Amino acid sequence: MNKCIVSIFFLVLTSCTSNQYFRTHITDIPCELNDATACDTANLEINKHDDYTLGFIEIADNGQFHDERQVSSLIKLLQNESKPQYVTIYVHGWHHNASENDRDTKAFKDNLKETKLRNPNFKIIGIYVGWQGETISLPFLRWLTFWDRKSVSYEIGQDALLRFFLQTESIVKAKSDNKLLTIGHSLGGSVVFNALQSVFLERLTQIPKEKMVGFGDLVVLVNPAFEAIRFASFREFSQKYSEKNVVNQNPLLIIASSESDTMIKDDFPMATAFGAVFDLHRFLSSPLDFFSAWDLDTIAVGHFSPYITHRLETNNYSLSTNYSCPSNNILLNDSQSKMQLHHLKNSTTLNPYWVMQIDKKIMPNHGFMKQKDFWCFLDLTLKGL
**In-domain check, residue 6:** no
Closest of 191, 28, 18 to residue 99, by C-alpha: 18
Contact residues for 179 (Cβ-Cβ < 8 A; gap 6+):
85, 86, 87, 122, 172, 216, 217, 382
**In-domain check, residue 5:** no
Q: Is the pLDDT of residue 56 over 90?
A: yes
**In-domain check, residue 261:** yes
Average pLDDT over every residue of 307-331: 69
**Residues 343 and 321 sit within 8 Å (Cβ to Cβ):** no
**In-domain check, residue 4:** no
Which pLDDT band holds residue 54 (cuts at 50, 70, 90)?
very high
When mean pLDDT is compared across 206-210, 237-241, 322-326, the lowest value belongs to 322-326
Considering the chain, what is the average pLDDT of its residues? 85
**In-domain check, residue 282:** no
- In sequence order, what are the beta bridge partners of 255? 221, 355
Range of the domain at 163: 12-276+287-383
Average pLDDT over every residue of 251-265: 97
**In-domain check, residue 307:** yes
**In-domain check, residue 379:** yes
d(CA 184, CA 5): 36
User: Between residues 79 and 327, which one has the greater pLDDT?
Assistant: 79
User: Which pLDDT score is estimated for 109?
Assistant: 97
**In-domain check, residue 1:** no
- The number of C-alpha atoms within 13 Å of 47 and in the hemisphere containing its C-beta is 19
- Its pTM stands at 0.90
User: Which pLDDT score is estimated for 136?
Assistant: 74
d(CA 74, CA 27): 10
Q: Is the pLDDT of residue 15 over 50?
A: no
d(CA 295, CA 11): 35
The count of domains in the chain is 1
